Amino acid sequence: EIVLTQSPGTLSLSPGERATLSCRASLSIRSSYLDWYQQKPGQAPRLLIYGASSRAAGIPERFTGSGSGTDFTLVISRLEPEDFAVYYCQHYGSSPPYTFGQGTKVEIK
Amino acid sequence: EMQLVESGGGLVKPGGSLRLSCAASGFTFGNYRMNWVRQTLGKGLEWVSSISPGSGNIYYADSVRGRFTISRDNADNSLYLQMSSLRAEDTAVYYCARTEVYGDYGDAFDIWGQGTMVTVSS
């Protein structure tokens, strides 16, 4: 089972700032197996990035995913008020379990 | 509009059973792999179970194998999760989610329901 470790646990930033979120896998994984989700309080998760770097439908260009092997990154170039949320990476491999990281909370500083 | 709506959550005693349902609309349900994902209060996300479009391939997390059963009715556009021998640690919000296949770019949960709360407590 692939274990995903996200860092930092909490990121305190101001609107307009750049956010850099990290997701590290316990073993090297295919880039196509790494997805990112955003979750706001009281809402279901929303798919942001699939295949490490492809934005899902309707996702703004300020969200950029990158990485390979064991290290993956989600960058939000300029934080908008609606971007303050919890972000999860997920390993959706060729077979289950489809594990999630523990999440990074992006909060308003 | 593509939508998933869960129902069936509630309060159940340890050792009890509960059946969750997920109604799909706005897309051809029978073409998609479907999943259950849960989230404990204040904690992260845990994949629970998946079922292929024709129900031929079914998978479970180790934490629920032997106690939970996933099923679907493509004619009725519905997904189910039969939960038995429930434990306190099964207390969570349960989401159904659709798998979208992006070819060389992998798979992802692209549509989620709003979730249904399951509380296991005496």
DSSP-derived 3-state class of residue B89? helix
Residue A28's pLDDT band (boundaries 50, 70, 90)?
Answer: very high
User: What residue has token string 């292929």?
Assistant: B52
Does B1 reach chain A within 8 Å, measured CB to CB? no
Position B57 scores a pLDDT of 96
- pLDDT digit string, tens, across residues A61-104: 999 999 999 999 999 999 999 999 999 999 999 999 999 999 99
φ, ψ for residue A83 (rounded to 5)?
-85, -10
The candidate with the shortest Cα–Cα distance to A48, out of A66, A28, A30, A71, is: A66
Contacts of B33 in chain A (CB under 8 A): none
Q: How far apart are the first and last CA of chain A?
A: 36
Q: Which residues are B100's β-sheet partners? A: B108
What 3-state class would DSSP assign to B29?
Answer: helix
- Number of Cβ atoms within 10 Å of the Cβ of A75: 13
Shortest Cα distance from A78 to chain B (angstroms)?
24
Partnered with residue B86 across adjacent β-strands are none
* Matching residue, tokens 């709506």: B5
Q: How far is the first Cα of chain B from the last one, in angstroms, to the nearest whole number?
A: 39
C-alpha span between B93 and B38 (Å, rounded):
5
Tokens coding B92: 């969570």
**Which member of B45, B61, B62 has the closest CB to residue A88?**
B45
Q: How many residues does chain B have?
A: 122
Which one of A3, A33, A50, A94 makes the best mutation probe of the B interface by having the most chain B beta carbons within 10 Å? A50
Q: In the prediction, which pLDDT does B44 show? A: 87
User: Could you give the 3-state DSSP secondary structure of residue A104?
Assistant: strand
A46 has a chain B CB within 8 A of its CB: yes
Under DSSP, the state recorded for A100 is B
Closest CB to A103: pick one of B44, B107, B113. B44
CA distance B96 to B113: 6
Asked if residue A10 has pLDDT above 80, the reply is yes
* A47: nearest CB among B50, B62, B108: B108
d(CA B117, CA B93): 4
Per-residue model confidence as pLDDT tens for chain B (122 residues): 999 999 999 999 999 999 999 999 999 999 999 999 999 977 789 999 999 999 999 999 999 999 999 999 999 999 999 999 999 999 999 999 999 999 888 999 999 999 999 999 99
Best residue in B105, B114, B116, B117 for a mutation probing chain A (most A CBs within 10 Å): B105
| pLDDT score, position B10 | 97
Rounded to 5 degrees, what angle do the CA atoms B115, B38, B3 make? 35
pLDDT (tens digit per residue) in A39-65: 999 999 999 999 999 999 999 999 999
A88 lies within 8 A of chain B by CB: yes
**Alpha carbon of A26: minimum distance to chain B alpha carbons (Å):** 17
pLDDT of residue A43: 96
A105 in B contact zone (CB under 8 Å): no
Distance (Å, whole) CA A76 – CA A80: 9
